[in-house]
């Protein structure tokens, strides 16, 4: 598996994911971090955008998923992002973190998140 990676951090979107009715009707901010693992050596030598993965296209795809789709669990949201990115982009693996900083729980906290790692099936 490639050790090279393209990373995007702090992608912020307003979405409607959660178990509670209020989460589904009012929505909230979700933050996504993603790493795409791929061999970037060809792009490193060629300096040509067609030899790499467009992080702008990855951003747009993630934005569509978070904004337009709805899930109860951020685990499912992370899984969906991983499966789409693996299917649509030339990477071997992805690490996806979905943050839910306004998670509905009592207490003082900075963040609630899930992080998953998935690889393409051979």
Q: Convert the pLDDT of each residue in 33-50 to its tens digit.
A: 999 999 999 999 999 999
Inform me whether the pLDDT recorded for 16 exceeds 90.
Answer: yes
Q: What is the pLDDT of residue 72?
A: 97
Tokens standing for residue 46: 């060629």
Q: Which of 12, 76, 100, 121 is catalytic?
A: 100
Domains of the chain: 5-119 (3.30.1130.10)
Inform me whether the pLDDT recorded for 2 exceeds 80.
Answer: no
Q: Are 72 and 17 in contact (CB under 8 A)?
A: yes
Is 63 a catalytic site residue? no
Say how many Å lie between the first and final Cα of the chain, rounded. Answer: 11
Report the pLDDT averaged over residues 94-102. 97
């Amino acid at each position: 598996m490639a050790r090279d990676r393209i990373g995007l951090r702090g992608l912020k979107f307003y979405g409607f994911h959660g178990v509670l009715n209020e989460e589904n009707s009012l929505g909230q901010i979700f933050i996504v971090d993603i790493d795409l693992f791929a061999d970037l050596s060809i792009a490193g030598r060629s300096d040509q955008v067609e030899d790499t993965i467009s992080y702008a296209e990855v951003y747009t795809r993630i934005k569509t998923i978070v904004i337009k789709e709805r899930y109860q669990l951020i685990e499912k949201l992370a899984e969906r992002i991983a499966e789409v990115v693996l299917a649509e982009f030339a990477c071997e693996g992805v690490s996806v973190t979905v943050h839910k900083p306004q998670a509905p729980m009592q207490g003082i906290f900075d963040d609630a998140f899930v992080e998953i790692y998935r690889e393409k099936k051979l």
